[in-house]
Amino acid sequence: MSENHPINDLSPGQVLRFYLDAGVDETTGSHPLDRYALSEASAKAPKPTRPAVAVSPPKASAGAQRPGAAASAASKGVPSSVAGQSAAIAAAAAKSLEELKAAVEAFDGCALKSTAKSTVFADGNPAGRLMVLGEAPGSDEDRQGLPFMGVSGKLLDLMLDSIGYSRETAYLTNVIPWRPPGNRNPTPEEVALCVPFLERHVALVKPEVILMVGGLSAKTLLNRPEGITRLRGRWESVNTAGLGQPIPGVATFHPTYLLRSPQQKRLAWRDLLAVKEKLDSLASA
Binding site for ligand URA (CB under 6 A): 134-138, 141, 147-148, 152-153, 174, 214
**Is residue 198 a contact partner of residue 221, using CB atoms and an 8 Å limit?**
yes
> What is 202-228 written as a DSSP string?
HHHH--SEEEEESHHHHHHHHT--S-H
Cβ closest to ligand URA, residue 152 vs residue 220? 152
User: What residue is closest to ligand URA based on CB?
Assistant: 134
How is the beta sheet containing 130-134 ordered, strand by strand?
122-124, 170-174, 130-134, 209-213, 247-252, 236-238
User: Minimum distance from CB of 178 to ligand URA (Å)?
Assistant: 11
Q: Which of 83, 62, 80, 82 is nearest to 72 (CA)?
A: 80
Cβ closest to ligand URA, residue 17 vs residue 154? 154
Cβ closest to ligand URA, residue 107 vs residue 253? 253
CA dist 250 to 188, 195, 225, 237, Å?
Answer: 22, 18, 15, 9
Count of Cβ atoms closer than 10 Å to residue 135 Cβ: 25
User: Minimum distance from CB of 95 to ligand URA (Å)?
Assistant: 26
Cβ closest to ligand URA, residue 135 vs residue 271? 135
Cβ closest to ligand URA, residue 88 vs residue 110? 110
User: Minimum distance from CB of 159 to ligand URA (Å)?
Assistant: 13
User: Minimum distance from CB of 222 to ligand URA (Å)?
Assistant: 16
Q: Which of 176, 195, 39 is nearest to 116 (CA)?
A: 176
What is the rounded distance in angstroms from the CA atom of residue 51 to the CA atom of residue 121?
27
Strands 247-252 and 209-213: parallel
User: Minimum distance from CB of 148 to ligand URA (Å)?
Assistant: 4
User: Minimum distance from CB of 102 to ligand URA (Å)?
Assistant: 20
Cβ closest to ligand URA, residue 22 vs residue 259? 259
